[in-house]
Amino acid sequence: MSQSEVTPTQITNLIQHEPIEFSISIQPHGLLMALNPQLVILQVSNNTEDLLGKKPNDLLGQPLSDLLNSEQVKAIEQCWQQERGRVNSFKLSIQTSKGKQYFDGIAHRTESTLILELEPTDSVNEISFLSFHALAGEAIAKMRKTSNLTDFLQLVASEVQKITGFDRVMVYEFDHVGAGSVVAEVKRHDLSPYLGLHYPATDLPEQVRELYKRNLLRFIPNLNAQPVELVSVENSETHSRPVDLSFCVLRSAHPCCVEYHQNMDVAAMLVIALIKEQKLWGLISCHHQTHKHIPYEVRKICEFLGQIVSRELEHKVNQSQLDYRVRLQSLQSDFIESISQADNFREALVNPQPSLLDVVDAQGAAVYLDDEITLLGATPNIEQVRLLIDWADASNGDNLFSTDSLPKLYPEAVAFKNTASGLLLLRISKVRRYYILWFRPEVIQTVSWAGNPDESIQVDANGNVKLCPRASFERWQQTVRLTSLPWKPCEIDSALALRNAIVGIVLSKADELARMNLELERSNRELASFAFAASHDLKEPLRGIHNYSTVLLEDYAQLLDEDGIEYLQTVVSLSQRMETLINSLLRLSQLGQAKLQLQATDLNELLDQVIHLLRASRPQGQFNIRIPRPLPTIECDPVLVSEVFSNLIINALKYNDKPEKCVEIGYLNAEEQGETSVPFVFYIRDNGIGIPEHHHESIFRLFKRLHSQEKYGGGAGAGLAISKKIVERHGGRIWVESVVDVGSTFYFTLE
């Protein structure tokens, strides 16, 4: 039996009978005490005579105050009030047979015991902040300036090597099954490189990885040292049940771990856990060829650096993934828009621009609609695709199925491995048999292992599986065939989102198109008829009325009395207003007919132009326009959107009786809205006269004015109706929130 034949469950079971966190020994460079809530010593390591000059039996059953002064005891006693697993450090001085000795004290509590670890140190002084900053500050600054993930990890290895002085420092990354690879390395020049080598999951079983999640740093200064056993008080709880040493710095190394590293010629090691999204992403692993001790303070700096690296790592990995996800979403959005607007659904799916392949970064695709198959890119032939769908229907009923090794699941796929070793299958409808299949070709990979991974496992004559440290870590290469590049989670999400969109389009397409065509046909006829009548039948006589009235006023005013002149002036005024109304109607009809000229538009530049024109037309106007933060760049028709902003800003200033007229222009993003239905909600807020609530809907009707023609500068009452039409042409909506005498806020979206 080889590693490939051993299941993850079998590997986990190999060490479950021996829980490594309940060790009964510690490393000899320090000592350990287990205390009850009264701080009575219930358990000690069997090396107290070497470090304290007192035999274990002289300490067992005695209060901690026999060893430490009252101030030190009080500080340690407070650990009982803290949560389980929180580690505290102290500088302690203890009077021994050799005089006063200094120790680094590390204390934490378990469920029923307080663990105190002591490591001898030369000084009672803690490392200063300036020293800490000198060691860690420069490294952190360099890390934050490095954006490329590979360069960042290499820099991490280099900086940790500078601080610790270890012969080799590696950054080790886990994959989804627990196997790992060395992705960055700094080493002594005469050592063999491990960079790029892979390590099987058995090298660090799940139980060990869980320990690293709980205890972020592991230090073993001498792998060859003999562990020191723990001695307990007779009949005590610690005597009958092992103490949980999960968070102990001094916990002894498992024999398998010792042998593993000795086979690598490693005598000392330091490991720093890297956590991403509360999961163990990898390790910073430091090796030394000889015994090496580093002070506790330096180890704490390394642990702190590990936490900084974890945060930076999460940002850099997530940013890389986010950039790719955003690109996929953009491609997906374009594709969905394309098929939603197309008359022929099948043609739209295989239309090369935008491409169905780009939605999940595939090299080939097949569209299966009502027993008809259309191929795109590099794919199996039509009959092979048909048989593949039949197999998928029989073996998997999910709406989405993916694999990066199709031939291992479907042996017939070996015949077309060059085009379809990877498969992503999407069921749109089982009833009508609508499918989309994406394909990826075989990518032959050469995986370099640190030694033969099968040597990590031994099987005896009875078939029992046993983990065994490998004796060799020489580069061992394995060729992996019949696999493609794996499908990323964001690619699978993109396929699912596409399915949801297509389902909606397919279900509503026929009825919606029929209704829209009928409505558009009727609307276009009416608009064409209206536009003609307004242009020719109405405007021409209106100009005549205006012109003749003007002539009468200019040439025959002396023949008229005051009433006659006033009547003619009224005719001129009314004809001008009538022309304004007709022009507004024409504008509204044109908005319904003209095609939107969509383009990427910087709303900040657009607003600058609108405000500049507004100030030029109102040189004496006293008003303040505020834009709290830069507006985004969006896809829209800039001319029409400019008209929306202009209409709303003019209204905000016109219907305002305050001495200082104020207008605020801004937007709310999806998070600020509390929803994600639209990316932005734009607003124009004023301190004007406000609008009664019962008029909030009617103000958007054409020619609807709430005041007489003489008040607030007149106007046709068409600005809001035109703005509403423009917003709706962009797929958005517009609404108002207002309080009388306080002001109004107009909101609108542009989907």
pLDDT tens per residue across span 628-637:
999 999 988 8
- Quick one: tokens of 454? 């099968």
Please state, in angstroms and rounded to a whole number, the distance separating the CA atoms of residues 176 and 281.
10
pTM for this structure?
Answer: 0.54
Distance CA 71, CA 37 (A): 17
Query: Could you tell me the pLDDT band of residue 28, with boundaries at 50, 70 and 90?
Result: very high
User: Does 147 lie in the same domain as 92?
Assistant: no
Do 626 and 686 belong to one domain?
A: yes
What is the domain count for the chain? 5
Question: Could you tell me if 242 and 42 are in contact, meaning their C-beta atoms sit under 8 angstroms apart?
Answer: no
State whether 644 and 732 are in the same domain. Answer: yes
Q: pLDDT per residue over 90-100, tens digit each? A: 889 898 888 88
Asked if residue 605 and residue 539 are part of one domain, the reply reads: no
Checking if the pLDDT of 1 tops 50, the result is: no
Residue 214 maps to which CATH number? 3.30.450.40
Do 672 and 533 share a structural domain?
no
Confidence of residue 4 (pLDDT cuts 50, 70, 90): very low
The answer to whether position 319 is within a domain reads no
Kindly report, residue by residue over 501-526, the tens digit of the pLDDT: 776 666 555 455 456 667 766 765 56
Confidence at 168, pLDDT banded by 50, 70, 90: very high
- Region 23-30: mean pLDDT is 89
Compute the average pLDDT of residues 266-285. Answer: 92
Q: Which of 292, 313, 334 is the last residue of a domain?
A: 313
Looking at the structure, do residues 143 and 55 belong to the same domain, yes or no?
no
* pLDDT mean over 616-635: 83
Q: Kindly state the average pLDDT of the residues 121-128.
A: 63
Rounded Cα gap, residues 738 and 693, in angstroms? 7
| pLDDT one-digit tens code per residue, 329-358 | 776 677 767 666 666 666 666 665 557 788
- Which range is least confidently modeled, 95-99, 583-587, 746-750? 583-587
- Most confident region among 113-127, 128-142, 150-164, 711-725 by mean pLDDT: 150-164
- Over 655-686, what HEC string results? CCCCCCEEEEEEEEEHHHHCCCCCCEEEEEEE
Q: Sign of the CA dihedral 562, 565, 571, 575?
A: negative
The verdict on residue 685 lying in a domain is yes
Query: Is residue 554 pLDDT above 50, yes or no?
Result: yes
Tokens found for residue 389: 């769908």
For the domain that residue 404 is a member of, what is the CATH number? Answer: 3.30.450.270
Higher local confidence (pLDDT), 543 or 647: 647
Residue range 59-70: mean pLDDT, rounded: 92
Instruction: Calculate the CA 666 to chain-centre distance.
Output: 26
Do 688 and 716 lie in one domain? The reply is yes
Considering the domain architecture, whether residues 133 and 264 belong to the same structural domain is answered as yes
**Same domain flag for 634 and 548:** no
Domain membership of residue 304 (yes or no) is yes
Dump strand ranges (E) for 249-399.
268-276, 279-288, 364-369, 372-377
User: For the residues 279-296, what does the mean pLDDT come to?
Assistant: 93
Is residue 437 one of the residues assigned to a domain?
yes
Nearest to 395 by CA among 407, 410, 416: 410
In a domain, 391, yes or no: yes
**In terms of domains, do 714 and 607 share one?**
yes
Q: Is the pLDDT score of 407 beyond 60?
A: yes
* Domain end (from 442, 466, 494): 442
CATH of the domain at 33: 3.30.450.20
403 within a domain of the structure (yes/no): yes
749: phi then psi, degrees, rounded to nearest 5 = -120, 155
Q: What is the average pLDDT value for the chain, to the nearest integer?
A: 79
Residues 24 and 138 in one domain: no
Pick the closest to residue 272 from 285, 255, 259, 291 (CA basis).
285
Residue range 51-60: average pLDDT? Answer: 92
For residue 615, what pLDDT is reported? Answer: 80
Query: Residue 257's pLDDT band (boundaries 50, 70, 90)?
Result: confident
Q: What's the CA gap between 36 and 39, in Å, rounded?
A: 5
**Closest to 230 measured CA to CA, from 504, 484, 459, 44:** 44
Same domain, 391 and 517: no
Residue finishing a domain among 423, 442, 461: 442
Please indicate, yes or no, if residue 372 is contained in any of the structural domains. Answer: yes
| Domain containing residue 547 | 512-593
| Residue given tokens 């538009």 in the structure block | 601
**Cα–Cα distance measured from residue 713 to residue 347, given in angstroms and rounded to the nearest whole number:** 54
Which helix H or strand E contains 69, and what residues bound it?
Answer: none
